[in-house]
């Protein structure tokens, strides 16, 4: 229609000075154009609107997850884990997390960012119960020291210009205390961030404070004044008495993990600011002299890529920083495992992380709303067909003899294919025996009753970063958070058996980075990074660029036969006795047969997961949850043709694509029924089903459409 309107505007009769010939020509030409356009398959829909039309003809239903509740309550499965801390303090046992009583600990969690860490008491009570219902058992407190957040740990409201960052706001601490108390009652543990986004001030005795960025990176890793300020913060925090639990933070086993500093390093965050640069140079000259390394009189260029001595110095400074900070916390009385930071730039940096009690990592899909180019476009590729599906990056941090935790991961909205990620990561984490995951993030703000994905906190950005809030909020995203029921069960119960074989990936060079050795390997065998001097215990010992899995085959099957992914077909599945799932472009495959389960999905893309909610496996269970989800979007959202640019984020309510699928379950149960459940937890209908010759069969998506279905015996 826009082309017709454009042509009419350009060919108005008056522009031809009332020439009858030209008017006639205009009419004839216009009629021919209309006929030509009508003949097109897209029926007057422009190329740029093809995607909009394609999405609009898909069958969708409104399905907004309430902010203060969940449609289904699985907290009964974890009732014996309340309150958090009942097993004692968390400890490290070789490459595992265990509690003091010997119980192995594995976590499925989320981050609370900035203001979400300081909600009202009523909000804390509701959110803690909500998380328990879906199976979350860990919350990481992230950005609580951020100046841009309201509230933050130093200041509950904006207005007053506080002279320094050396005292905590009483109201902020009261709310933090109560949140911890509520989480503890619901069996949910806490990962405590320390230095993340703190803005040091002149009143802190800090030089060039106005030129320091968040957390004073990277100067906070070596500056004596900045280290002293961190120690005071840590001491004040760990010795703070929670007025609701009646315990100091250091004495409360609900807090299980901590890190010294968030995403902080000398390799990529170059030191250029004086007087800190001169302080760093003085440290380097002393370090070099102790090792009889000659250093000229000219200004030192800290280029680690060209000088092995510089990268070794960076590693030494980083190790010393972690050692000092961890030792100080131990002297304060902190008992739990502590990590240095949560990203690694090369093998040298990773080796420095071994000064901590565990390794930690962050990984993101390079898409969604968080990584836009100059034209505002983002990546919109599915992970299911990619070698680099977050897992190679994560596996690089899994070092022999150390527990591994993922404190941030995400496949951010508005990536169209994000429903593939939650179950896939939990399944591989269970297979690898990793310590746990925390998605970034649950929420940035503490708004209530939000009915759309990614509602921005402001029209622009927070502290100049446009994707904070909105893009990363997952609390009501059906495509990711909606699958947490299954992800939590898989990770916490250990539904996927640990890998049978181990591959050691040996890093001999300080500059080594992940290569072919990690391509698909984490889905095939257990992966362990080893350094010179460590035991070669794996069945295979390879260098960082030696392939373990045949990439030409385009598929990978775990050595336990419970995980599978086909990169060419862009499908994957999880096949264990207690949890099963298919994900990716499964609609193109027709019927997919797992052990005792057949699923035939009609939609092109979907994740369909089923988990037992009892101690019995699926083939004997009398209570199961089936979730079927694919695309999920706001009402009225619009994108460009290839969906790499958001034209309109839309509005509430959230619309989920109705997944149509035929399901057959081999089961001993003869009296099962299937109930569809709406966002408020109401049963909206009973799905027609049949039991015949040991098979229970039904179809979803035709009647009583939903994304959640309970399968229970009468």
| pLDDT tens sequence across 587-627 | 999 999 999 999 999 999 999 999 999 999 999 999 999 99
Q: Report, as an integer, the average pLDDT of 339-360.
A: 94
Give the contacts of 17 (CB within 8 A, at least 6 positions apart): none
Residues 518-555: tens digit of each pLDDT: 999 999 999 999 999 999 999 999 999 999 999 999 99
What is the per-residue pLDDT for 572?
98
SS3 for 362? strand
Question: What is the predicted pLDDT for the residue at 469?
Answer: 66
Residue 511 lies in a domain: no
Query: Mean pLDDT across the stretch 286-296?
Result: 95
How much of the chain, in percent, has pLDDT values that exceed 90?
83
Q: What is the pLDDT of residue 459?
A: 60
Q: Can you tell me the mean pLDDT for 304-312?
A: 89
pLDDT at position 671 is: 97
In a domain, 680, yes or no: no
- Identify the pLDDT of residue 28: 40
Domain CATH number, residue 422: 3.20.20.80
**Residue at 454 is within a domain:** yes
Over residues 485-503, mean pLDDT: 98
What integer is the mean pLDDT of 446-471? 78
Distance CA 499, CA 432 (A): 6
> What is the SS3 assignment for 601?
strand
| CA-to-CA dists, residue 621 to 74, 524, 663, 691, 714, angstroms | 15, 29, 16, 15, 12
Does residue 3 have a pLDDT over 80? no
Task: Give residue 140's domain range.
Answer: 107-494
Task: Give pLDDT, residue 512.
Answer: 84
Structurally, the chain folds into a number of domains equal to 1
Mean pLDDT of the region 372-390: 83
Q: What is the mean pLDDT of residues 309-323?
A: 96
pLDDT exceeds 80 at position 358: yes
Inside any domain, residue 564: no
DSSP calls for 622-679? SEEEEEEE--EEEET-EE-TTS-SEEE--EEEEEEEPPPEEEEEE-S-SSEEEEEE-T
Q: Is residue 584 part of a domain?
A: no
In the predicted model, is pLDDT for residue 49 greater than 60? no
Residue 505, in any domain of the structure: no
Q: Is residue 54 part of a domain?
A: no
Instruction: Taking residues 287-309, report their average pLDDT.
Output: 92
Q: What are phi and psi of 233, to 5 degrees?
A: -55, -50
**pLDDT above 60: residue 258:** yes
pLDDT value of residue 464: 74
- Residue 38 confidence (pLDDT) above 60: no
In a domain, 482, yes or no: yes
Per residue in 616-631, pLDDT (tens digit) is: 999 999 999 999 999 9
| Residue 672: pLDDT band with limits 50, 70, 90 | very high
Cα–Cα distance, 276 to 269 (Å, whole number): 13
Residue 332: pLDDT over 90: yes
The mean pLDDT of the chain is 90
Q: What pLDDT sits at residue 513?
A: 80
């Amino acid at each position: 229609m826009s082309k017709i309107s454009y042509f009419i505007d350009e060919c108005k009769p008056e522009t031809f000075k009332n020439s009858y010939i030209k008017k006639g020509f205009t009419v004839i030409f216009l009629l021919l154009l209309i006929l030509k356009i009508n003949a097109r398959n897209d029926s007057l829909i422009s190329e740029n609107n093809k995607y909009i039309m394609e999405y609009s003809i898909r069958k969708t239903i409104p399905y907004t997850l309430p902010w203060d509740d969940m449609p289904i309550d699985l907290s009964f499965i974890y009732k014996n884990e309340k309150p958090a801390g009942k097993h004692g303090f968390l400890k490290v046992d070789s490459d595992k997390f265990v509690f003091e009583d010997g119980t192995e600990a594995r976590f499925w969690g989320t981050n609370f960012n900035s203001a979400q860490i300081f909600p009202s008491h009523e909000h804390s009570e509701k959110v803690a119960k909500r998380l328990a219902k879906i199976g979350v058992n860990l919350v990481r407190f992230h950005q609580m020291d951020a100046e841009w957040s309201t509230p933050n740990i130093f200041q509950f409201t904006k207005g007053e210009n506080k002279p320094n960052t050396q005292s905590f706001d009483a109201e902020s601490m009261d709310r933090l205390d109560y949140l911890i108390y509520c989480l503890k009652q619901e069996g949910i543990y806490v990962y405590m961030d320390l230095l993340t986004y703190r803005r040091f001030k002149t009143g802190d005795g800090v030089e060039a404070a106005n030129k320091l960025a968040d957390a004073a990176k990277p100067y906070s890793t070596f500056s004596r004044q900045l280290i002293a300020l961190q120690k005071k913060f840590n001491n004040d925090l760990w010795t703070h008495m929670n007025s609701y639990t009646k315990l100091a933070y250091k004495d409360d086993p609900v807090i299980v993990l901590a890190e010294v500093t968030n995403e902080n390093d000398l390799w990529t965050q170059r030191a250029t600011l004086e007087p800190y640069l001169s302080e760093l140079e003085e440290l380097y000259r002393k370090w070099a002299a102790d090792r009889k390394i000659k250093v000229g009189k000219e200004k030192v260029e800290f280029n680690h890529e060209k000088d092995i001595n510089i990268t070794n110095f960076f590693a030494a400074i980083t190790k010393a920083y972690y050692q000092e900070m961890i030792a100080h916390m131990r002297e304060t009385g902190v008992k739990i495992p502590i990590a240095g930071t949560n990203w690694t730039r090369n093998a040298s940096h990773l080796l420095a992380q071994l000064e901590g009690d565990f390794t930690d990592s962050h990984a993101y899909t390079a898409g969604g709303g968080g990584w836009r180019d100059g034209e505002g476009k983002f990546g919109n590729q599915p992970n299911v067909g990619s070698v680099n599906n977050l897992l190679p990056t994560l596996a690089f941090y899994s070092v022999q003899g150390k527990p591994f935790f993922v404190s941030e991961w995400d496949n951010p909205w508005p990536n169209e294919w994000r429903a593939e990620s939650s179950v896939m990561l939990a399944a591989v984490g269970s297979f690898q025996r990793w310590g746990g995951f925390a998605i970034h993030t649950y929420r940035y703000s503490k708004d209530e009753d939000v009915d759309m994905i990614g509602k921005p906190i402001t029209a622009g950005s927070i502290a100049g970063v446009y994707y904070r809030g909105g893009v990363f909020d997952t609390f009501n995203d059906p495509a990711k958070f909606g699958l947490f029921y299954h992800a939590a069960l898989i990770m916490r119960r250990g539904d996927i058996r640990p890998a049978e074989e181990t591959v050691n990936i040996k890093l001999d060079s300080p500059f080594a980075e992940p290569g072919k050795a990690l391509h698909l390997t984490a889905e095939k065998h257990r992966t362990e990074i080893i350094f010179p001097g460590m035991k070669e215990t794996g069945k295979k010992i390879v260098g960082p660029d030696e392939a373990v899995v045949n990439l030409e085959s385009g598929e990978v099957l775990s050595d336990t036969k419970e995980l599978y992914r086909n990169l060419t077909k862009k499908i994957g599945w999880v096949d264990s006795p207690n949890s099963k799932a298919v994900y990716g472009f499964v609609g193109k495959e027709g019927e997919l047969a797992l052990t005792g389960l057949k699923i035939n999905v009609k939609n092109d893309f979907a994740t369909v997961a089923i988990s037992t909610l009892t101690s019995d496996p699926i083939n004997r269970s009398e209570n199961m949850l089936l979730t079927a989800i694919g695309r999920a979007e706001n009402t009225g959202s619009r994108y460009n043709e290839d969906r790499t640019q958001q034209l309109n984020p839309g509005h509430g309510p959230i619309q989920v694509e109705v997944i149509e699928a035929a399901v057959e379950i081999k089961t001993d149960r003869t009296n099962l029924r299937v109930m569809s459940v709406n966002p408020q937890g109401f049963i909206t209908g009973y799905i027609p089903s049949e039991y015949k010759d040991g098979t229970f069969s039904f179809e979803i998506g035709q009647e009583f459409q939903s994304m959640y279905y309970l399968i229970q015996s009468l």
